[in-house]
Structure 1
Amino acid sequence: MKHTLFLFDLDDTLLDFKASEQRSFALTLGELGMRGDIDALFADYQAINLALWKSFESGAVSKDFLKVERFRKAFAQHGLDLDPEAASRLYLESLSNTVVLIDGAVRLCATLAAIGEVGIITNGVEHIQKRRIASSGLGEHISFVATSEACGHAKPDSRFFAYTTAMARAFASHETIIVGDRLDADILGANRFGIESCWFNPDRLANASAAVPTCEVHTLHDVVPALRSLAAA
């Protein structure tokens, strides 16, 4: 295998953030005293959250603003008299207790850590992401965690990847690969920084973007064979 530095996105690549998000949202609303069906509220929250994350990644809003604004907008849209700041705090606290692993995540990280160095690259909240990694059982295989919060720049900004690779024991562009699910953040970031990428695409989505992955996999079990194929090419 030619790669010795493996940079993994965290949410929806190693951890099933969608499952964790839904559980945490339900727990948060329960703590705030809301009962009954919250499916419509959750769907609207997800859409608002996605739009705000895109704004954050473009530098238009801060992460502190995003964390509260997503709840404020969702509650306002549904006419709910609930405290968005309390919701934000409860939700973030619960995320580390609702960790769900993507199938094959621990084995993959253990395998690659025996070959080289595994790092996490995430636009998530630093102390929450580190707690989630600790809860997941992945921590012993992870060398470092690079967050946009600590860096000051978010994926796909090349400054984030320069910050990330400076944390590694050693960095050579031709020996580094990013594995992630997001074309607009992980794969495009890799393209801009001049390193290879592996698109984790479990839903087999079409790539209609400008991002060009070096390879594509549909399960985490496919990652090691794909990387070996790149080495043999």
Structure 2
Amino acid sequence: MKHTLFLFDLDDTLLDFKASENLSFVRTMQALGVAGATETLFNHYQPINVALWRAFEHGTVSKDFLKVERFRQTFAAAGLVLDSELASRIYLESLSDTVVLIDGAIELCASLAAIGEVGIITNGVESIQNRRIASSGLQQHIAFVATSEACGHAKPDVRFFEYAMNMARPVRKEQAIIIGDRLDADILGANRFGIDSCWFNPEQLANTSLAVPTFEVASLRQIAAALKNRAMV
């Protein structure tokens, strides 16, 4: 196989973050005494959260600000007077207890770890991501976890990918590949850094961005075969 370093995004690539996010949000609202209407509140939360994460990736807000501000804005939009800092703490604690794996994640990581190194590249909160990986059963197959929090730069910044590569055993760029669901973070970052990429696209969305994946899959179970085919190109 051509590749010996496999850099995986975590959320919505190996772990079903959408499912975990929903469960954790409901638990948080229940802990704060919000009865019912959590679905409507979650619908307020999601676009606010996405916008703040995009702002973080562009370096315009800090992660500490993001973690609390998303709840402050959500509560304000719904006319609720609740403690945003407490909500943030409860939510983050709950995330590590609501881990849901993407189908085929463990099998894929195990098979690739037998060939080379599997690393995680994530913009998520370091302590929470490490606990989620430990809870998922993936940890034994993961050589290292590179986080934007430890690096000081977030995907798609080239400096983040340099940081991740330096955590791995020495390897040439052509031997590395990034696998992720985000065109604007994972695939664009790979393009800028000059390494191969695999776009995990289970919803089979159209690519209207400037990011160009080396190849695309709709299932994690397709990746091993795609990598073998790539080795023969």
Q: Tell me the TM-score range normalised by the shorter chain.
A: over 0.9
Cα shift at 1:126: 0.2
Counterpart residue identity of residue 153, structure 1: H
Cα shift at 1:174: 0.4
1:81 counterpart residue number: 81
Cα shift at 1:11: 0.0
- Structure 2 unaligned spans of 5+: none
Indicate whether 1:171 and 2:171 are aligned: yes
1:146 counterpart residue number: 146
Q: How does 1:45-194 map to 2 (within 5 A)?
A: 45-194=45-194
Cα shift at 1:39: 1.0
Cα shift at 1:105: 0.1
DSSP 3-state at the match of 1:61: coil
Cα separation, 1, equivalents of 2:10 and 2:171: 20
Counterpart residue identity of residue 103, structure 2: D
1:26 counterpart residue number: 26
2:9 counterpart residue number: 9
DSSP 3-state at the match of 1:29: helix
What's the CA shift string for 1:16-37, capped at 9, x where partnerless?
Answer: 0000000000000000011112
Counterpart residue identity of residue 193, structure 1: F
Cα separation, 2, equivalents of 1:44 and 1:159: 33
What's the CA shift string for 1:117-155, capped at 9, x where partnerless?
Answer: 000000000000000000000000000000000000000
- How many residues align? The count is 233
Instruction: Output the aligned Cα RMSD.
Output: 0.4
Cα separation, 2, equivalents of 1:44 and 1:200: 27
Cα shift at 1:171: 2.1
Cα shift at 1:40: 1.3
Name segments (4+ residues, structure 1) moved above 6 Å. none
1:201 counterpart residue number: 201
Indicate whether 1:232 and 2:207 are aligned: no
Counterpart residue identity of residue 84, structure 1: S
1:36 counterpart residue number: 36
What's the CA shift string for 1:92-113, capped at 9, x where partnerless?
Answer: 0000000000000000000000
Cα shift at 1:76: 0.3
DSSP 3-state at the match of 2:120: strand
Cα shift at 1:169: 1.2
What's the CA shift string for 1:198-225, capped at 9, x where partnerless?
Answer: 0000000000000000000000000001
DSSP 3-state at the match of 2:178: strand
Counterpart residue identity of residue 35, structure 1: A
Cα shift at 1:192: 0.2
Cα separation, 1, equivalents of 2:197 and 2:113: 18
Counterpart residue identity of residue 6, structure 1: F
Cα separation, 2, equivalents of 1:159 and 1:171: 17
2:214 counterpart residue number: 214
Cα separation, 2, equivalents of 1:225 and 1:198: 12
Cα separation, 1, equivalents of 2:165 and 2:171: 6
Identity of counterpart residues, as a percentage? 70
